[in-house]
Amino acid sequence: MSARTGLKASFVVGFDGQQHVLWRQGEVVFEGGQILFVGRDFPGEVSQWIDYGHALIGPGFIDLDALGDLDSTVLALDNGSEWHMGRTWSEQYLRRGPQECYSAEEELFKYRYAFAQLIRNGITTAMPITSMYYRRWAETYEEFAGVAQVATELGLRTYLGPCYMSGMTYAKADGSPAQHWDETAGLAGLAAAERFFRDYDGHHQGLIRGALLPDRIETCTPELLARSAALQAELAAPLRLHCCQSRFEVNLVRELRGVSSLQWLEGFGLLNRQTILPHGIYLDAPDDLARLRESGASLVHCPVVFAREGEALDSFGAYLEQGINLAMGTDTFPADMLDNLRQGLSIARVMDGNAERTRIIDLYNAATLGGARALGRDDLGRLAPGARADITVFRLGAFHQGPFFDPIKNLVTAGHGDDCIASYIDGRCVMQNGRLPGIDLQVLQGRADLLFQKQMQHHALRAPGEPYWRELFHPVIPYADTTSARAPLSDVGPPGE
């Protein structure tokens, strides 16, 4: 039998069957991967007690749009149009033939780096997302066999599958957007996703679960969506599809299909309780909100990445009042769920024009119970007997958190991901004292810096006219010691370039 372990701290977030509740001087006891007890004064024997002192023990965060990448969205910040800077494919690049930015080994490294970031920030369940702009065309079965191995080594609970698509948006010579279609590639990607699901769903004692992960609604043909819907029903699989996330998308879907994005999905039977939709910001029909509510589909709220572009859900509280299940996603760097809760709270209140409609607990619930509900899991997102032992420990009393008054409020208003000091996933300690076993974070960071530079250089291939890559990226403050974008790498940029 596995050892019985007990954790203690000044505060524990328990679950009473209906809601999270707070225990002062609380205890959590688990054996193997299952929680046995939450409360005070456990009456049984325990092999080991670990006392974390002034800290909050709580359920691990569930991230359903978790960055599995070296984030490219940060490159677009204050950097002009994505077409000019080479993030979006140019027509010239498409005609010449798309190329992989990274080698197969480098692709796996970026997942190792990203998964370490997720664990470091208190995320215990992840459904990863990566950018297809840097791929020749979507993802492969072989690649995700390797990703599953990386997740297994780190101990992260993941919902995995290769992304697939039958289209890609590109920029024509005048900068206007157009769609390139490849139905054969899309259906081959779906076949790879099915193969992965059948081979890996339930792998590693259930920590690896399969999911169907088509790219975006506007990059899917009717045939690809119809077959995805049939496969979802056959496998009873969660399916995530980025939807209602931009005006461009909803306008394009209406132009191509004659209906709103949600109406189009509904026509395929893809609005159901196992459908997970980031980001749901732009609804395009008067009854779309009701359509979403009645379907039971879940929205994944990613406030930080959209706020950077001046966009926001209108509003978190309004959707919640309609009975729509809301989960959370980070989607960008940093993979800091606390930052998303903090900014999400402020953004929702600004959108509402008041502080009454959306509360801290609403965001916290979305990152725990809402994510579990989206996955159809009543054993995640909570600390209660019978639940899986996915547990995080956040330190309290740090100087940057300010005077202590309430554990959740202190963390959401002033905490950050680095305050997570320990993490247990399915009862396995995957991080202790901020350290991941067998992972040198400095070494990991050094290689990530080098690969990110490679990603930046890849922009030159996709930008119109193939300019020198450094000319595509503008520093916030101009360099005083050089006037040339072609300066030697050792002269500008972070050490190690």
* Pairing relationship of beta strands 239-240 and 275-277 according to DSSP bridges: parallel
In this prediction, residue 481 carries a pLDDT of: 79
pLDDT at residue number 284: 87
Phi, psi of 137 (to 5 degrees): -170, 100
Question: What is the reported pLDDT for 213?
Answer: 98
Between 196 and 492, the more confident residue is 196
pLDDT of residue 484: 52
CB count in 10 Å sphere of residue 106: 16
Q: One-letter amino acid identity for 162?
A: P
129: nearest Cα among 82, 97, 165, 179: 165
Q: What is the pLDDT of residue 489?
A: 44
Rg over alpha carbons for the chain, rounded to the nearest Å, is: 23
Q: Do domains 1-59+382-434 and 60-381 have the same CATH topology?
A: no
Class of the CATH domain delimited by 1-59+382-434: mainly beta
Residue spans of alpha helices (H) in 390-433: 407-414
Sorted by where each begins, the domain ranges of the chain are: 1-59+382-434, 60-381
User: Which residues lie closer than 8 Å to 97 by C-beta, 6 or more apart?
Assistant: none
Query: Can you tell me the mean pLDDT for 180-186?
Result: 97
Q: Read off the pLDDT band of 94 (50, 70, 90).
A: very high
Q: Is pLDDT above 50 for 198?
A: yes
Q: Which structure tokens are listed for 177?
A: 């957007």
Amino acid found at 241: L
Gap between the Cα atoms of 422 and 121, Å rounded: 10
Q: Report CA-CA distances (Å) from 79 to 11, 85, 205, 473.
A: 44, 7, 45, 6
Which distant-in-sequence residues (6+ apart) come within 8 Å of 255 by Cβ?
Answer: none
Alpha helix locations (H) across 162-279? 183-200, 222-235, 247-257, 261-267
Helices 441-462/104-120 angle, 10° precision:
130
Average pLDDT over residues 81-105: 94
pLDDT tens-digit series, residues 337-354 = 999 999 999 999 999 999
Q: Over the stretch 29-43, which tens digit does the pLDDT of each residue have?
A: 999 999 999 999 999
Give the pLDDT score at 49.
Answer: 98
For residue 318, the tally of other CB atoms under 10 A from its CB is 16
Q: pLDDT, tens digit, for every residue of 364-401?
A: 999 999 999 999 999 999 999 999 999 999 999 999 99
pLDDT at 1 over 80: no
Tell whether the model's pLDDT for residue 492 goes beyond 50.
no
pLDDT at position 483 is 55
Cβ 157 vs Cβ 59: under 8 Å: no
- Tell me, rounded to whole angstroms, the distance of Cα 312 from its chain centroid: 17
Phi/psi of residue 210, nearest 5 degrees = -85, 155
C-alpha dihedral sign at 312, 314, 317, 321: negative
CA separation for the pair 378, 371 (Å, rounded): 10
Start-end of H helices in 273-315: 288-295, 303-307
The pLDDT, as a whole number, for residue 479 is 87
Domain 60-381 adopts which CATH fold? Answer: TIM Barrel (3.20.20)
Q: Quote the distance between the C-alpha of residue 227 and its chain's center.
A: 25
Note the pLDDT of residue 256: 95
Report helix, strand and coil shares of the chain as percent, to nearest 5.
Answer: 40, 20, 40
Contact criterion met (CB below 8 Å) for 26 and 38: yes
Q: What is the pLDDT of residue 319?
A: 96
pLDDT in tens, 102-148: 999 999 999 999 999 999 999 999 999 999 999 999 999 999 999 99
pLDDT band at 494 (very low <50, low <70, confident <90, very high): very low
Q: Which of 157, 158, 131, 160 shows the shortest CA–CA distance to 143?
A: 160
Task: Give the pLDDT score at 462.
Answer: 92
Instruction: Please state, rounded to an integer, the average pLDDT across all residues of the chain.
Output: 95
Give pLDDT, residue 420: 98
Chain position carrying tokens 């010239």:
92
One-letter amino acid identity for 406? Answer: D
CA angle 394–66–396, rounded 5-degree value: 10
DSSP of 120-153: HTTEEEEEEE--STTSSSS--HHHHHHHHHHHHH
The confidence band for 95, taking pLDDT boundaries of 50, 70 and 90, is: very high
The Cα 111–Cα 114 span in angstroms is 5
Backbone torsions φ then ψ of 349, nearest 5 degrees: -70, -35
> What pLDDT is attached to residue 491?
41
In whole angstroms, what is the distance from residue 130 CA to residue 64 CA?
12
* H/E stretch holding 320: helix 316-321
Residue 493 has pLDDT above 70, yes or no: no
Q: In whole angstroms, what is the distance from residue 289 CA to residue 371 CA? A: 20
3-state SS class at 235: helix
For residue 52, give the 3-state DSSP assignment. Answer: coil
Residue 496 has pLDDT above 70, yes or no: no
Query: Minimal CA–CA distance to 125: which of 372, 394, 409?
Result: 372
End-to-end CA distance of the chain: 50
